[in-house]
Amino acid sequence: MKLIVGLGNPGAKYAANRHNIGFMALDRIAEDHGFSPWKARFQGLAAEGRLGDARVTFLKPQTFMNLSGQSVGEAMRYLKVTPSEVIVLHDELDLAPGKCRVKQGGGHAGHNGLRSIHQHIGADYHRVRLGIGHPGHKDRVAGYVLSDFAKTDGDWLDDLLRGISDGAPALAQGDSARFQNLVAARTQPARNSGTMPVPAATAKAPPAPAVPDQPASLTDKLRQLTDRFR
């Protein structure tokens, strides 16, 4: 059993916020992989299904971000899973938009949702860090994460969510390298598929054939004789 958690804030007001990319990712995976409908459980919304050979419970805490650990801790105790069987998907300011990294353990880097989870279950869980970029100054962070993605973010965001869904079975089975490769296949497609012919090196052109001398005309011969007797 794996518990996969997406972080965000509840309600339509926050649905398209950058802070809610964890919710967005779980919604995409659940839809693509035929999970059960979302139901109110564990102070959140939960859905169940399978990813490859793994039996999985999804959880979107409805406690607001800074109390996410309450929901995660309750679900863990009920499902009898350890922190190492928990995977948390969350927004990451320190990664460029569209980037994705997986890690286990470590600090919370000031992320309120992770801070709360640390307080309730410790730090030994897996995280999927989903890059949203940084606004440039720490004083702008709160407004930035609580504002909606821009329209210009639509393409990379859709590619990232599709990649996460593609790689979800590998993630659930603990193969983080394969998961990240499948995400990258969506977000960093090969620029040259090999279908276009590569131009061959230009061959050195052969020298032009020599043009034979033309016989002198009668006028030329008379001019030559005149010149001789001057």
pLDDT of residue 208: 53
What is the per-residue pLDDT across 26-62, written as a single tens digit (0 to 9) for each? 999 999 999 999 999 999 999 999 999 999 999 999 9
Read off the pLDDT of each residue in 125-137 and give the average, rounded to a whole number.
96
Provide the pLDDT for residue 189: 76
Amino acid at site 66 = N
Paired tokens of 211: 């043009």
179 in a structural domain: yes
Query: Are the beta carbons of 47 and 55 closer than 8 angstroms?
Result: no
**In this structure, what DSSP letter does residue 196 have?**
S
Q: Which of 48, 47, 49 is nearest to 60 (CA)?
A: 47
Q: What are phi and psi of 28, to 5 degrees?
A: -65, -45
Structurally, how many domains does the chain consist of?
Answer: 1
On whether residue 83 sits in a domain, the answer given is yes
Strand partners, 126: 87, 104
Is 17's pLDDT higher than 80? Answer: yes
> Which one of the listed residues 19, 90, 111, 126 is annotated catalytic?
19
Structural domain contains residue 197: no
Measured between its terminal Cα atoms, the distance across the chain in Å is 116
Phi, psi of 36 (to 5 degrees): -65, 160
Q: Which residues of 28-38 are buried (b: 16+ CB within 10 A; e: fewer)?
A: bbbeebebeeb
Residue 19: DSSP 8-state: G
Q: What is the pLDDT of residues 57-97, one digit of tens each?
A: 999 999 999 999 999 999 999 999 999 999 999 999 999 99
Tell me if 6 is assigned to some domain.
yes
Give domain status of residue 209, yes or no: no
Does the pLDDT of residue 200 top 80, yes or no? Answer: no
Q: Does 229 reside within a domain?
A: no
pLDDT at residue 203 greater than cutoff 80? no
> Does the pLDDT at position 153 exceed 70?
yes
Query: In this structure, what DSSP letter does residue 228 have?
Result: H
Q: Which domain holds residue 102?
A: 2-187
Q: Looking at the domain assignment, is residue 68 inside a domain?
A: yes
User: Is 193 part of a structural domain of the chain?
Assistant: no
Residue 19: active-site member: yes
Long-range contacts of 119-125 (CB under 8 A, 24+ apart): 119/69, 120/69, 120/70, 120/72, 120/73, 121/69, 121/72, 121/73, 121/76, 121/83, 121/86, 122/83, 123/83, 124/83, 124/84, 125/83, 125/84, 125/86, 125/87, 125/88
Whole-angstrom CA distances from 44 to 5, 49, 72, 118 are 10, 17, 9, 18
Lowest mean pLDDT among 105-119, 129-143, 150-164, 198-212: 198-212
The CATH number covering residue 105 comes to 3.40.50.1470
Phi, psi for residue 25 in degrees, rounded to 5 = -65, -45
